[in-house]
């Protein structure tokens, strides 16, 4: 264990870490660069699509920290580098904020070659990606995720979206970035709570795809929480590899890809029920994984020990493991409208053996038992 506290903002003291994960999607394939000091490494920014204009999309929290350095990295490649700063938070992942990106692009007469750069977490990435998918029917975009959650989750796989008053991520597109650049140094400024939320998605990849990785996370949860760069690089790399493999087999989520939503059906209900932004997405997913693990056990697929193991690891990661007291009716109603509900039946991602997941329906009575066991009264 080698805890690293905040390095000087523009350099990394140790030997730089350089990892690459390739996402294979035919002519939409791209690289995920993972490392330290990437914002200041010219090699990371070479070879991107050429254009007159680059537009950095960021938010009021991340912009002041990193936009100037990204700007400096892009100036050698684009005649104009513009920045649009959005309000920070899931509550602003909506049509009105999306419109601000369009207005900035059109106001600056940006053409269809303009390259967008998403500098921030999942909300910035989802909105920038969706804006890129739709602006003039598609312009290239680059993800520069600055949260652990977006580095291991939303930056991989091309799912972009905004929320709708009637449901989360209801309006969006499958649209791939041309590159993802994960500078691990940006995680130094991440609040503790958001680091934990990111770890929820890291943990997820264990039960659904890799029992050894689950054991590795259990052995390395302290270095990860202490932001040890070597541990983080390994966690981000393995998470991206697993997600890239799943997405490569099922880009448009017709089947296999749904396993990435382990914990998400319960989790989305928590987020929607409390109002977006009350719990962080990763927190809701962490708690949702505990519920989904319990459902797997009640369905007879996994032993009771598995539930304790998932709950224990989530707790050590600093995640909440007791759902809010929304009432079972409200949970069921919210899960019904969730987009994984097809033809009226609620389907869940369940674990059928360690490292393997599948979609399955469950009797409503059993879902109520799970909710009763894991939600506050």
- Active-site residues, by number, are 137, 159, 201, 243, 253, 257, 261, 264, 268, 281
Q: Which stretch binds a copy of itself (CB under 8 A): 4-12, 108-116, 280-288, 361-369?
A: 108-116
* HSE-up of residue 116 (Cα within 13 Å, Cβ side): 33
Q: How far is the CB of 94 from a copy of itself (least distance, A)?
A: 11
Q: How far is the CB of 178 from a copy of itself (least distance, A)?
A: 14
How far CA 321 is from CA of 22, 129, 293, 294, 354, in Å, comes to 34, 31, 12, 12, 20
Binding annotation for Zn(2+): 201, 264, 281
Asked if 271 and 123 count as a contact pair (C-beta separation under 8 A), the reply is: no
Residues in the chain: 377
Instruction: State the virtual CA torsion across 42, 184, 257, 48 in degrees, nearest 10.
Output: -10
**The tokens 């894991």 sit on which residue?**
374
Q: How far is the CB of 90 from a copy of itself (least distance, A)?
A: 18
Q: Does 337 bind a copy of itself (CB under 8 A)?
A: yes
Distance CA 84, CA 59 (A): 8
In the list 65, 170, 226, 299, the residue contacting a copy of itself (rule: CB under 8 A) is 170
Q: Does 248 bind a copy of itself (CB under 8 A)?
A: no
In the list 7, 339, 352, 369, the residue contacting a copy of itself (rule: CB under 8 A) is 339
Q: For residue 242, give the H/E element and its range.
A: helix 229-249
How far CA 17 is from CA of 36, 179, 238, 265, in Å, comes to 5, 18, 15, 35
Q: Does 159 bind a copy of itself (CB under 8 A)?
A: yes
Q: Does 161 bind a copy of itself (CB under 8 A)?
A: yes
Q: How far is the CB of 102 from a copy of itself (least distance, A)?
A: 6
Q: Does 203 bind a copy of itself (CB under 8 A)?
A: no
Asked if 94 and 65 count as a contact pair (C-beta separation under 8 A), the reply is: no
Q: Does 171 bind a copy of itself (CB under 8 A)?
A: yes
Q: Does 22 bind a copy of itself (CB under 8 A)?
A: no
In the list 172, 177, 198, 323, the residue contacting a copy of itself (rule: CB under 8 A) is 172
In the list 6, 13, 60, 99, the residue contacting a copy of itself (rule: CB under 8 A) is 99
Distance CA 262, CA 4 (A): 31
Exposure string over 333-344, b if 16+ CB within 10 A, otherwise e: ebbeebebeeee
Residues 269, 257, 318, 361, CA torsion sign: positive
Q: How far is the CB of 59 from a copy of itself (least distance, A)?
A: 21
Residues that bind a copy of itself (CB under 8 A): 52, 95, 99, 102-103, 106-107, 109, 111-113, 133-138, 159-161, 164, 166-167, 169-174, 252-253, 336-337, 339, 341-344
């Amino acid at each position: 264990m080698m805890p690293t506290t905040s390095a000087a903002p523009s350099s990394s003291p140790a030997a730089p870490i350089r990892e690459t994960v390739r996402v294979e999607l035919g002519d939409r394939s791209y690289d995920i660069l993972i490392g330290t000091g990437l914002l200041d490494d010219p090699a990371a920014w070479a070879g991107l699509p050429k254009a007159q204009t680059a537009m950095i999309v960021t938010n009021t929290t991340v912009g002041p920290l990193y936009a100037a350095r990204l700007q400096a990295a892009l100036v050698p490649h684009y005649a104009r580098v513009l920045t649009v700063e959005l309000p920070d938070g899931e509550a602003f992942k909506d049509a009105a904020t999306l419109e601000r990106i369009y207005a900035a692009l059109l106001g600056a007469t940006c053409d269809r070659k303009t390259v967008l750069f998403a500098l921030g977490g999942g909300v910035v990435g989802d909105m920038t990606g969706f804006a890129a998918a739709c602006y003039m029917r598609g312009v290239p975009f680059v993800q520069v995720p600055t949260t652990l959650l977006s580095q291991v989750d939303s930056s991989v796989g091309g799912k972009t979206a905004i929320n709708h008053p009637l449901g989360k991520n209801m309006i969006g597109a499958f649209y791939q970035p041309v590159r993802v650049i994960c500078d691990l140094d940006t995680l130094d400024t991440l609040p503790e709570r958001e680091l934990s939320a990111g770890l929820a998605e890291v943990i997820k990849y264990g039960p659904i795809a890799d029992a050894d990785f689950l054991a590795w996370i259990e052995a390395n949860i302290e270095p990860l929480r202490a932001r040890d760069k070597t541990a983080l690089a390994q966690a981000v790399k393995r998470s991206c590899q697993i997600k890239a493999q799943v997405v490569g087999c099922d880009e448009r989520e017709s089947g296999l890809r749904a396993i990435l939503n382990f914990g998400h059906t319960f989790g989305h209900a928590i987020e929607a029920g409390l109002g977006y932004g009350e719990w962080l997405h990763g927190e809701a997913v962490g708690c949702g994984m505990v519920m989904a693990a319990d459902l797997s056990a009640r369905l007879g697929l996994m032993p009771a020990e598995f539930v304790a193991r998932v709950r224990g690891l989530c707790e050590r990661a600093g995640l909440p493991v007791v759902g809010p007291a929304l009432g079972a009716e409200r949970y069921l109603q919210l899960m019904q409208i969730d987009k994984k509900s097809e033809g009226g039946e609620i389907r869940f991602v369940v674990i059928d053996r360690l490292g393997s997941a599948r979609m399955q329906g469950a009797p409503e009575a059993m879902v109520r038992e799970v909710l009763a066991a894991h939600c506050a009264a």
